[in-house]
Structure 1
């Protein structure tokens, strides 16, 4: 948990930790461009199209000793419990080829659609040439991250959670040092792009080392890609991909729509608030993040009551932690920024309170979705894409009429209608009654 807290704090909070320098060295237009960089970089999640979470779970199944995996559902657990290294090697070789193809698709999307979205804001930046160079570096590293992402999926899947968090910690420190020094040197957006590159390389090197140490290098070297694995990954992956598209519309669509309808200062404030919100949810979700591989393994081994108690208790800790961090942001956020005399502030008080409450709601029902998916089934993909597309349409209409409040209210209006379905499925995927689930959350026993 120690490495997890530090790793997540630095990984997600690195953008936040650099803010004192970034906000004093970058103009509002440059900050708005950076938040747009991050939103466009999230396109790699769309190109992944749901393969990532499915692949991580398959690594967990095989590491738990399963002889193979099904397209949907679970095979009986192995009595030996020993990792199935030959099949892990085949899976690794297969997904390496997959992510090479997917990274090529992202390169095309960033080169054309990404550049188009940036045109208006880039024209407001004094050193436009350097800003475009920063975008080129950032886009290249987004492509590299996707192409090599299977190493991180593998390490997470074989339950080396502490090592993943250490990689996040080390990569985040390189990000902070690189970005901080270059910002002080006056590199502006180039500083942040170079910091992204440093973090990406360090994280991947650590993951490669950990995975090779935990497995058999000779087996990995001799393993060959198995197309039948892709055929079995696809049924759940495309459903998760649909869900990813819906999630992208809801989260990253916020900044993309804002960049077309709202003043650049508001876009900068919204981006800053969103990053703090991501920081808060990521720190809070760490209670569950470090346990998802274990939860998946417990389900594979049919230890469902033990799994449910663990999930319920960690969910309660997640919600409580988010409430504490959100309260600190509300009380101290803009005061600290005013003390630092930064160009960009958080959203005003009422929109800020509303947005953080919305994130708590979104985080809570999202955890039940992940619990359901540990069964290797994706039953709510239609709900996700419907919600995402509806959010974009409603957001465009409401933002054009009511500006910031329209943009903030639209996602909740669309998500609230369907969240009950996701929570109900999550509760149905575990054996505890509502009363037992609540007791498990409070007392760590059914």
Structure 2
């Protein structure tokens, strides 16, 4: 009887640990995103006409733009909320103020002011984004509407996509606010619930014959539920009653957040546009089939990065709090304990993709192919170094500084120029698109910013990563 009781207690303890693991919830979210393709793609192919499938992907590209249209404000917000959670009194425009005492309570007054600032700022951003998205979407759909068998459905799908994208800009900050409160489990759980609802509803609507409206309608419902859950969690962890914030305070906080927000927005936008431009270079130089090879290879590496990044993503709020408190010893331990698993996970996943993708494609889809193994290896190395660079970039940003904005933006431009030149003046073929980002990154960013970050921790990078006690 005692043994049975112990087994039950052990099982309950295990379940509690699983449900309380931000890492597992986040991995579940990533796995759901990957699985969504396997679930929805057959339904899309079965229930949508070819022209409607084109409209579907056109609207999906419109949704990709939505997170970029807050111009980095959400990133600046989570760092500021984490700063207040650590007891920070002042919110400087750049750099860190005097460190609060280690036992300082959270500055909930500042957090409420930040909440009101986010609500006001993102409402204005939504007003800016709304006509931009409406105009861009309308022009894109109108150009091909004659090819669609049900034009009214296509316009309805555009309207729903527009509403979802504007809602993302207007309310997306709730998730970043929750993350800044150091609630990564709640954040990941809300994301997973919202996305699961979105996937299930999209599949159901497609099966019922709702056509091209299915995915946009499901996306709007998923975003609404996700944001409602996040809003509830944020308010649950803030003391009530909610204080008022004077307009001058909101304006002052917005002015202090915007400089680094714009810098982070520039980094994100340049990365997004750089990827799209690489695909356009591939299309112009090598054709549609070759672009499919490159795009598939790029997607494999992006998935590997996303799964590996979870190791650090769930710890960013804690890291920002330790930066506010000036806890260098804790920061060194945190970075070392999280960097190694993340890098090893990325190496294992990208290496596995490099080895397994060619034979699996030959088996499942013999008419499809990824890049040759040698170029996949180059892309795997680039993915690993980009992941490492991104970790140190967020570490520096957690210190309320973005010194790497122009080097990163400049490197993205240089990568495109080099890729275009190699694609047209060398025998490398598609390998030019894989090699150019690696060469440009190795020239400066891949080694310089990790060295700068380690110096702020009071150590060298080799000592941080390789010494038994990085202190």
Q: Confirm whether residue 169 of structure 1 aligns to residue 196 of structure 2.
A: no
* Alignment match of 1:154 (pick from 167, 177, 181): 177
Q: Aligned partners of 2:442 and 2:167: how far apart in 1?
A: 36
Displacement, 1:433? 3.0
Matches of 2:362 and 2:54 in 1, distance apart?
Answer: 19
Q: Tell whether 2:75 aligns with 1:53.
A: yes
Q: 1:405 to 1:435 in 2, by over 3 A?
A: closer
CA deviation after TM superposition for structure 1 residue 362, in Å: 1.0
Whether the aligned pair in 2 keeps the contact of 1:156 and 1:293 (CA below 8 Å) is yes
Instruction: Note closer, same or farther for the CA distance 1:25–1:269 as it changes in structure 2 (3 Å cut).
Output: farther
Q: What is the deviation of 1:224?
A: 4.1
Aligned length: 443
Which of these residues, 92, 98, 101, is aligned with residue 115 of structure 2? 92
Query: Does residue 259 of structure 2 align to residue 232 of structure 1?
Result: no
C-alpha separation in 2, matches of 1:24 and 1:361: 35
Change (3 A) 1:181 1:328: farther
Report the alpha carbon displacement of residue 56 of structure 1 after superposing the two structures with TM.
Answer: 0.8
Name the SS of the counterpart of 1:219 in structure 2. Answer: coil
Q: Secondary structure at the match of 1:18?
A: helix
Look up the match of 2:306: 282
How far apart in 2 are the matches of 1:152 and 1:244?
A: 18
* Higher alpha-carbon deviation: 75-84 or 379-388: 75-84
Change (3 A) 1:70 1:167: same
* Aligned position for 2:5: none
Residue 444 of structure 2 is matched in structure 1 by: 418
Q: Is contact 1:49-1:237 (8 Å) kept?
A: yes
How far has the Cα of 1:277 moved from its partner?
3.0
1:35–1:271 contact (8 Å) kept in structure 2: no
Distance 1:182 1:240 in 2: 37
Q: Which residue of the partner structure matches residue 30 of structure 2? A: 12
Q: Secondary structure at the match of 2:241?
A: helix
User: Offset of 1:273 from its aligned partner?
Assistant: 4.3
Give the deviation of 1:230 after TM superposition.
Answer: 1.3
TM-score (norm 1): 0.85
In the alignment, what sits opposite 2:95? Answer: 73
Contact 2:126 2:170 in 1 (8 A): yes
Distance in 2 of aligned mates of 1:62 and 1:366: 24
Question: Max radius of gyration: which structure?
Answer: 2
For residues 260 and 336 of structure 1, do their structure 2 counterparts lie closer, same or farther at Cα, with a shift above 3 Å needed? same
Partner Cα separation in structure 1 for residue 136 and residue 175 of structure 2: 27
**Shift, 1:264, TM fit:** 4.7
2:330 to 290, 306, 313: 306
Distance 1:120 1:22, change over 3 A: farther
2:397 aligned residue (369, 373, 377): 373
**C-alpha deviation, 1:158, in angstroms:** 0.9
Deviation at 1:306, TM superposition (A): 1.5
In structure 2, the gaps of 5 or more residues are 1-16
Aligned to 1:42: 64
User: Which ranges of structure 1 fall in alignment gaps of 5 or more residues?
Assistant: none
What is the Cα-based RMSD across aligned positions, in Å? 3.5
After the TM superposition, which of the residue ranges 263-272 and 312-321 deviates more from structure 2?
Answer: 263-272
TM-score (norm 2): 0.81
Whether the 8 Å contact between 1:23 and 1:31 is mirrored in structure 2 is: no
Q: Is the 8 A contact 1:93 1:224 kept in 2?
A: no
User: What is the Cα deviation at residue 148 of structure 1?
Assistant: 0.3
1:20 Cα deviation from its structure 2 partner: 2.4
Is the contact between residue 102 and residue 146 of structure 1 (CA under 8 Å) also seen in structure 2?
yes
Cα distance in 2 for partners of 1:360, 1:128 equals 45
Task: State the shift of 1:228 in Å.
Answer: 0.8
Per the TM alignment, residue 71 of structure 1 is displaced from its structure 2 partner at its CA by 0.7
Q: Distance in 1 between matches of 2:40 and 2:263?
A: 38
- For 1:211 and 1:86, the matched residues in 2 are separated by 14
Q: Taking structure 1 as reference, are residues 180 and 356 closer, same or farther at Cα in structure 2, changes over 3 Å only?
A: farther
* C-alpha distance in 2 between matches for 1:315 and 1:38: 33
Contact 1:6 1:169 in 2 (8 A): no
SS of 1:92's equivalent in the other structure is: helix
Distance 1:343-1:223 versus aligned 2 partners, 3 A rule = farther
